[in-house]
Every structure is written in C-alpha cells, then in structure tokens.
Chain A
Amino acid sequence: MNKEKILVIDDNEIVLQSCKRILESKNYSVTLCSSATEGIKTIEDHKFSLIIIDIVMPYCDGIKLSGKIQSNYPDSKILLISGYMEPKPFSEIIIEKKTNFIAKPFTPDELLKAVKSAIIRDPESTG
C-alpha cells in the first residue's frame, strides 16, 4: 500500500505527538514541524498529500502560512486546526480559500475523518 505522506505544523508538542500517534496508527507517514519556518523548509524538499497547520502560532500564523504554501504549491491540500473551536474570525478566509478546518480538541476518529475527506477533496471542484 502506498503510504500517504502527511506534514503536521504546530507549536505545541502534545498536539504534534497526538497527531503522529493517531495518523501512524492508520499507516500514514507523518512528519512533524514545530514552527512555520521549519514547515516551509520541509515542504521544499518533500511532497505531502496533506499539510495540517495550527492557526495560532507565534511569528507566522496558520492563515498566512497556508496562504504562502498555496501560492507556491497550488496542488497542496491543507487542514487547519485551532483551539478557538470555531474559526469565526478566520471563517471568511477559510471559506474563500476552500481550506478544511477542525477544532481542537479532537478525538482520533474526528481527526481521521477530517484527514480523509481533506485528501479526497479536490480543491478545484468542491466548495
């Protein structure tokens, strides 16, 4: 089976470890980055099926980061996560950029479901 490669960018170690544990249990290949700069470097060298990004991070927030990634790699698929439960202040951006979102805290099932649908989702054809 061809392993789907997933990159997780979050400044919180517990969240990173949680994601790794859940996704690896379903045979995804998981790479972890604790900052936006590290994430961008990793994307340059590897191709990922999905990039999970935390919205609230120091220096460069998730919205900005996903904007950058999408402008450089238009094919890339992104799943945003945030502790603000609902991405109300950012909803406009998320809807406009057709980005997926899941609120923290999430159960393993919730994350897997969101990851699956994000990978399947074709950014050009779905709204």
Chain B
Amino acid sequence: MNHNIRFYLIASLLGMTVMVGGISLFFGTYLINKTVTREAKNKIQFDLNAALEIYSNVEKQINSGLSLTARDQGWEDCINDKDTYKMEQKLANLIQILDLDFSGFVKNNYTTLCRQSGNKPENPDTMINPVALLALETKSPISGTFVLSHDEIKAEDPKLAESIKITVVNTPEEESKELSEVTSCMVIASAVPIYENNLFLGVIYGGVILNHSIKIVDKVRKTVFQNEQYQGENIGTVTIFLKDLRISTNVLTKAGNRAVGTKISKEVGIKVLTEGESWIDRAFVVNNWNITAYKPIKDYHGDIAGILSVGVNESKYAEFKRNTLLVFIAITVAGIIIAVLLGYILSKLVLNPVYELIKISKKVSEGDLYPVIGKISKGEMGNLQKTFIEMVVSLREQNIHQKEESEKRLIISQKQASVGRLAAGVAHEINNPLTGVLTFTHMLLQRDDLDSEMKSDLETIAKATDRVKEIVKGLLNFSRQIKLKPELSNINKIIEETITLIENQALVKRVFLCFDPGSDIQQRTLDRSQFQSVIMNIIINAIDATNPGGNITISTRCNLKTQNGKHREIEIIIADNGCGISPDQLDKMFDPFFTTKEVGKGTGLGLSVSLGIIEHHGGTISVKSQIGKGSTFVIHLPLDKQNE
C-alpha cells in the first residue's frame, strides 16, 4: 500500500508532465510547421519576384543597348558604302557589351546586311530574323521573349543551332518512350529601328539564347539566394522552362549535372501552363521536395512560352522543424525527470512519518504499548500522530482494565473452587466421626436398661448430632452449588477464549501464545468456568516463568488409552520455554499453599485447586520440567462415556 501512494504520486506528476509536454509538443509542432511553411511561401514569392525582375532587366538591357547603338552616327555611310566591316565592328562591340548570343542588321529593303556570326545569308530576302521583321514592319522598337525555330537560329549561326539542342529526359512513366530532341529555342531578344536624318534605314537586332544558358539562372541564384549552401548543396535553385521542359537551370540531377531536359511535375505544369496561374507551394523538383514558386513567361505575342521558377530545398526547413521538435522533446524529457525526482522527494517527505507510524503500529500490535513516537509533525500528519498517541493511551488503559478484569475473574473462580474443595474436604472428615457418634448413640438408646435421665441425655446427643449432620450437608450443598455447572462444551473453544483473555498480558511481557487445536476433539461435559480457571491458572504461571521473547505452546489432541480396556481421553499440553521448576519443588507443586512467588503475589492455592477441579472431572494433571529449558503441563481428561 505504501508503495502505491508513492507510485500514484509519481505517476500523477509524470502524467501531468507527459500530458502538458505532449500537448505543447503537438501544438508547437503544428504551429511551427504552419508558420515555417507560411514564411517559406512568402519568401519564395519574394524570391520569384526578384528573379522576374532580373529576367526583365536582361530584356531591358538588351533593348537599351540596341537603342544606344542605333543612335550612333555613320549607319547611312556604312549602308551607302556597303561597308559591312564597319557594321560588323559595331555589332561585335554591341555583343561584347551586352553579352549577346546573336545580332544583326536588316536594311529597310528587307535584306539582312550583316550578322554577328558573319554568316551571310544565301537568300537574304527570306531568312530575316523574326524579331527584326516585326521591327521592320512596325518601324518601332520591339523586345521580349521569343521562341525561335531551329532554322531561324541556324540562319543566325549554324554552330549555335547545334548547341541549342536539348535531349528530353523521360519521366519514369515515359521510360519506354524513345528519346526525343527539342530543337526550338527560347530567346530574350530586341530589335530597334535606325533613323538618320529622319530617314528609316533599317533595324538592328540582338538577343540571348536561354537553352543551356547558365547566365540568368546563376545570376538569380547569386543575387537572391546568395549561393547559400546546406550540406554542401545550394539551397536555392532557379529554372527557366520552355513549355514544360527545363532548358536553363541550376537544379542538379543525382549525377550532379544540371537537370536540363527534365520535365516539370505534372500538376504544376497543368496549373501554370494550362491555366496560366502562379504556383506557390511544395513541389517535387527532379529528385527532392522543394518549396517552389512558378510563374508563366509570356512571349512577345502574349502566349505562354515557358515558366520561370525558383525553389528552396525543404530540408533546410525540415532541419529547423526537427531542431525545434528536439528542443520540445528535450524539455518534456527534462520535465519527466524533474517530475520523477519531485514525486520521489515529495512522497518521501509525506510518507516518512507514515512509515514511522506503521512501524510503531506494528510494535503496538506486538504488544508494546509504550512506543517512542518521536517528533510530532505539523499539519495533518501531526494530527494523525496525536490521534495515534491518544489511541495507544486508551489501548493501554483498556489493556490494564482487561487485565484487571481477567485477574478478578480468575481470583473469583479460584476462590470458589478453593471454598468448594475445603468444604468438601471438611465434610468428608467430619462425617466419619459423626457416623461413630450417631451409631453408638442410637445403639445405646436401643438398650432397655436406661433410666429416663440417661435416655433423655442420649436423645439430646442424637438430636445435636443430627443437627451437625444437617450443617455439614448444608456446607456440602453450598460447595456443590458453586462447584459444578456441567454442560456440553467445546474444549478448543474454551481454550481459545481463555487465550484471548490473557493474550494482552502475555504480549505486554512479549511472550507469544501459540494454540494448536487438535481437529478431532469431541465435546465433553464439564464446568466451563472452573475448567477455564484451570487453563488460565496454568498459562499465567507459564507467562510468569517465561522471559520476554519466549513462547508458550498450547495444544490439544485425542488419545486412545488402552489401560483398563479402551478409553478415549483428551490431552491438553501447555508447554513453555521458561525457567523451569527444580525437582524438589516439582514434588510439592500440587500441595495446597505451595508457592514460589513472593508473599502477597499468589495465594498458593492455584495448582492444588486446579488439580482438584480436574480430578473432579475425572482427569489428571502431570508436569515435566527441566531447569532453564521450560515446563510442560499435561492435563488428561477422559471422554464422557456417552461420547465413546
């Protein structure tokens, strides 16, 4: 039970901690997850905007570069002089400054006079750059994103046309498909008309190719993500799609190459390319999950040509979440440890006085009615201790009272038995001489030779003797009244009751009474009170003779006595491991008035009277003793005839 209180205390503290820890862990994780995701989405949107800005800046740069070049003087001279060398120099200058992939000049008569590559068209009329053509027709500057065909690029530079080819990497579902190649090309390009002296001369054009390009994406990564790394890999990635195909990216494949040629995940493709909307959410990018933002890129004509996307590897956030979770778990674990410690200390604080009380209670139950209680605590525990002390005191009083009662009862019983035995003895002794007196008086009275005086004297003697006879009879009747109240009794039960009566007395002396009742003891007619007083008398003598810690064993059994035919008798054995009785005392034990106790402590009639009572029940008492080892009293009671 003690264990349980400690257990419950610790368990409830632990339960509280686990509950609070668990709840905060759950909600904390939930909130952090939510916040982190929200923040990550906000940030990625911001990053996407920055990327878009850089992308459109490229376009603006080309446009303004071309515009500046268009304003240069000398374009007319060049055309008139057919000085293509000078023209080429201007273009080469332009390419160097703007880092263009292609550029050229188209005359107002729709002939391409010059190309950066120096590749002069075989059929100048038909192979005009589409961007330049738009500017020629509108006679105004044009700029934007364009998708050019393989032939259109080939017209600019056949070598360039080879380098823009992209081999499509099939998705796992399309693995069986044959490898295909994309040859069209996405470019950012611009074309600007040239006027000299209000005369429209033609257009210059230029652009950058995005297929396989790393310039823009790496620039965005550098600017937006500042090349932040996590576990050796760049966290941020930037990709430009042509339709659903990665044509320019710094997302790496497992092999560590740029993932050019891979496709967008299906659901993002539908949302962005088909519905033309932005995507800001988690998405699977090539081989891991990213927080991503996608925005469609519209070409000059307003059609969706591709997508610009940025992404941040989720593992960065995952680690943050994991760390937070670990902190929460650490706090909970610390809480649990503290709860256990606190519970242990608290239970110790609360339960120690209880354990102390339990120990003392045990002592009291063993008969020590003067236990040392120690320091009285404050509060409820103190009240408990005080109540306990009160209980012990009243127990003590009750014990003393009970002891007095049982002693009183024993003394009365012994007195009655003594008086009875004395009266019976006296009656018997007086009756013998009385027989003589009566006989001879009556014999004398029968004589014929008596004178009247003698006769009257003899009659007086006879009458007086009759009177004595009546007195003795009365005395005997009196003794008989108290002496025998025989009833059918259970001997084991009487012994049990007797032990209950003197148990406290024994416990006070720390002598242990042990009763081993025989199972086959039949009921027998006897005087309960007298028999009880015999048993009590012998046990009390045994308690007096036994040192603290000693034992008194009382047992009963049924014997078959074969002497003088078959008789059954009950044997009651009262054995102690006390001081024992010396042989010379043993002989006198049952004499009336023999006692070993101090004057005033015993009447000395005890054992003699006990013997008398047992003899009147037809039984015997015998005793065996060894000095220092103890004594054994054995009472034999023959069973009633009717019981046999």
Residues of A within 8 A of B (CB): 12, 14-15, 17-19, 21-22, 25, 56, 82-86, 88-89, 92, 96, 103-109, 111
Contacts and interface: CB of A to CB of B under 8 A. Distances in A.
Contacts of B437: 105
Contacts of B476: 84-86
Sorted from nearest, which 5 A-B pairs have the closest CB atoms? A83-B431, A18-B439, A14-B436, A83-B428, A105-B434
13 contacts: A14-B433, A18-B438, A25-B446, A83-B431, A84-B428, A85-B427, A85-B473, A85-B476, A86-B480, A104-B431, A104-B435, A108-B438, A108-B446
A107 B484 contact: no
Contacts of A111: 439
Nearest to B616: A89
Contacts of B436: 14-15, 17-18
A18 B427 contact: no
A107 B442 contact: yes
Contacts of B554: none
A94 to B, nearest CB: 13
Contacts, number: 74
Contacts of A19: 439
Contact of B428 (A14, A22, A25, A56): A56
B163 interface: no
Contact of A83 (B432, B465, B616): B432
B641 interface: yes
Given A25-B443, A88-B484, A105-B434, 20 more contacts: A12-B435, A15-B436, A17-B436, A18-B438, A21-B443, A25-B446, A82-B428, A83-B427, A83-B428, A83-B429, A84-B476, A86-B476, A89-B616, A103-B431, A104-B435, A105-B438, A105-B465, A105-B469, A106-B435, A109-B442
Contacts of A22: 439, 443
A2 B436 CA distance: 28
B398 to A, nearest CB: 40
A109 B446 CA distance: 11
Nearest to B564: A67
B85 interface: no
B320 interface: no
B339 interface: no
Interface of B: 424, 427-440, 442-443, 446, 465, 469, 472-473, 476, 480, 484, 616, 618, 641
A82 to B, nearest CB: 8
A18 B440 contact: yes
B432 A104 contact: yes
Contacts of A21: 439-440, 443
A111 B435 CA distance: 11
Contacts of B442: 107-109
A12 B436 CA distance: 10
A9 to B, nearest CB: 14
Given A25-B443, A84-B428, A85-B431, A107 B480 contact: no
Contacts of B446: 25, 108
Contacts of A103: 431
A39 to B, nearest CB: 17
A124 B430 CA distance: 35
A14 B435 contact: yes
B376 to A, nearest CB: 62
Nearest to B442: A108
A106 B438 contact: yes
Contacts of B439: 18-19, 21-22, 106-108, 111
Nearest to B617: A89
B380 to A, nearest CB: 65
In this complex, which of A14, A21, A83 has the most chain B Cβ atoms within 10 angstroms of its Cβ? A83
